Amino acid sequence: MSHTVRNVLVVNAGSSSLKFMLFDMSQERMLAKGQVERIGIGDALFTFSTEGFSEKQTPCEAPNHAAAIRLACDALTAPAKGGCLKSFADIDAVGHRIVHGGEKYSKPVRLDEHALKEIEKLSPLAPLHNPGALQGIRGCEQVLPGVPHVAVFDTAFHQTMPEESYLYALPRELHDKLGVRKYGFHGTSHRFVTERAAEILGKPSDQVNLVTCHLGNGSSITAVKGGKCFDTSMGMTPLAGVVMGTRSGDVDPAIAFYLMKNGYSADDVDALFNKQGGVKALCGSSDMRDVCSACEAGNRDAQVALARLVHSYAMYVGGYVALLGRTDAIILTGGIGENSWETRQAFLKALSGLGITLDEAANRATRGVEATISGKDSAIPVIVVPTNEELMIARETFTILNP
Ligand code: AMP
């Protein structure tokens, strides 16, 4: 059945939250956005904004995900709230963010019962994420039946990695039977900035070699070869790779056995590495705004945390530049990459061995906008490119329905 797609609703559901954004894809324009928090917990909160209207954290009733998406659709069609849409029928498609697509999904998929079962089977690989997203899909299907629903996977962009990138040096049967391998995450963001960087550089996207750095609360760095993922810093789970807000990033795995022989349970170690690690463990805050102002005030722990953070970034960038052979640009994105000039300054200084230089004034002036922050004499240009994962999901949803 052909279906003209114009308005795409992008949904990012977790077990107790649902974020949404509506796009008019005829102009790639965002019409509205919002979120429902504390779904199924009680004291739920609704936030919504369109051009000329905004409400923040208003109490609402959201016992389940269907109720949450109904609140979203009611707001989208309410004349008093900006009236983006006349009726629910004006929503032409829904694009869902799904964290884990395993080895099964290297592209988005139009959802049907079979695809939903496959995503459910992948839940053990992303127990904190896939079940919530599935609840979101089921809720949306109840409220918007007959509308095409598309799943866009965070892992999909990384499925082009060759074996030498994704295989761990462990017995093959762990991969074959249990799916133990590197998957990588933030793929939608890495793809978005790759496409935009190709435009900025004036090259076809299948010819660019980049190191894309998504630096936020969770961070990952990807080597992009010929527009495709060649390697990425996150692993089988988002714990691996660079130092993050509360995740340790790479550690000697034997630390886990050591701690478990000293009375820690597997869950304790999991919480320690995922929630009590990273810059938070080193200096008490996971937010780079706090860390950078503490550095400025002379706090030694914060200074060490920042140094350790950029050290871990530089190790990946250096390795990827070596693997790529030719690197057209290093791209910085995510909350830290787009906004934290102090972190970027320290990062680029840590890359000076690669002949990378910093344009201090351009770096200080750049916040949330596209800009080149490396010096004219830099061996590799370093460009800030704000990411837009929701728009990428809307684009992928649009493209799969309008092949
Ligand atoms: P994300 O997970 O991409 O939303 O990024 C969150 C991270 O970005 C946090 O560590 C924030 O401290 C950091 N961040 C966001 N805005 C700024 C800013 N204006 N200056 C410095 N860091 C920022």
pLDDT, tens digit (0-9, with 9 covering 90-100), for 128-161: 889 999 999 999 999 999 999 999 999 999 999 9
What is the rounded distance in angstroms from the CA atom of residue 313 to the CA atom of residue 345?
12
15 with 142, same domain: the answer is yes
pLDDT of residue 46: 97
pLDDT of residue 1: 44
Residue pointed to by tokens 């089988």: 236
| Mean pLDDT score, 356-366 | 98
Ligand 1 atom closest to the Cα of residue 291 is 12
Give the C-alpha distances (Å, rounded to integers) separating 172 from 56, 79, 181, 236. 50, 58, 10, 15
pLDDT, tens digit (0-9, with 9 covering 90-100), for 287-340: 999 999 999 999 999 999 999 999 999 999 999 999 999 999 999 999 999 999
Active site residue 252: no
175 CA to centre of ligand 1 in angstroms = 35
> Which residues are near ligand 1 (CB < 6 Å)?
216-217, 245, 287-289, 334-336, 339-340
The answer as to whether 326 is a domain residue is yes
Site to substitute for ligand 1 among 212, 286, 291, 340, most atoms within 8 A of C-beta: 340
The answer as to whether 43 is a domain residue is yes
- Tell me the DSSP string of 283-348: HS---HHHHHHHHHTT-HHHHHHHHHHHHHHHHHHHHHHHHHSS--EEEEEHHHHHH-HHHHHHHH
111 CA to centre of ligand 1 in angstroms = 33
pLDDT of residue 4: 83
pLDDT, tens digit (0-9, with 9 covering 90-100), for 96-111: 999 999 999 999 999 9
244 CA to centre of ligand 1 in angstroms = 11
Indicate whether 30 pLDDT > 50. Answer: yes
Domain range for 94: 7-153
Indicate whether 2 pLDDT > 70. Answer: no
The answer as to whether 159 is a domain residue is no
Do residues 187 and 229 lie in contact, with contact meaning Cβ atoms separated by under 8 Å? yes
pLDDT, tens digit (0-9, with 9 covering 90-100), for 205-220: 999 999 999 999 999 9
| Mean pLDDT score, 110-120 | 95
| Mean pLDDT score, 76-81 | 95
By three-state DSSP, how is residue 140 classified? helix
Q: How confident is the model at residue 127 (pLDDT cuts 50, 70, 90)?
A: confident
29-32 CB contacts, 8 Å cutoff, 24+ apart? 30/390, 30/391, 31/7, 31/84, 32/75, 32/76, 32/82, 32/84
Domain count, the chain: 2
Mean pLDDT of the chain: 96
CATH number at residue 211: 3.30.420.40
Indicate whether 230 pLDDT > 80. Answer: yes
The answer as to whether 177 is a domain residue is no
The answer as to whether 398 is a domain residue is no
235 with 380, same domain: the answer is yes
The answer as to whether 93 is a domain residue is yes
Ligand 1 atom closest to the Cα of residue 214 is 3
| Mean pLDDT score, 267-284 | 97
287 CA to centre of ligand 1 in angstroms = 7
| Mean pLDDT score, 79-102 | 95
pLDDT of residue 128: 85
pLDDT of residue 3: 62
Ligand 1 atom closest to the Cα of residue 334 is 3
The answer as to whether 402 is a domain residue is no
Do residues 355 and 379 lie in contact, with contact meaning Cβ atoms separated by under 8 Å? yes
Of 131, 153, 175, the position where a domain reaches its end is: 153
Catalytic residue among 92, 154, 231, 359: 154
Site to substitute for ligand 1 among 12, 217, 234, most atoms within 8 A of C-beta: 217
Ligand 1 atom closest to the Cα of residue 245 is 10
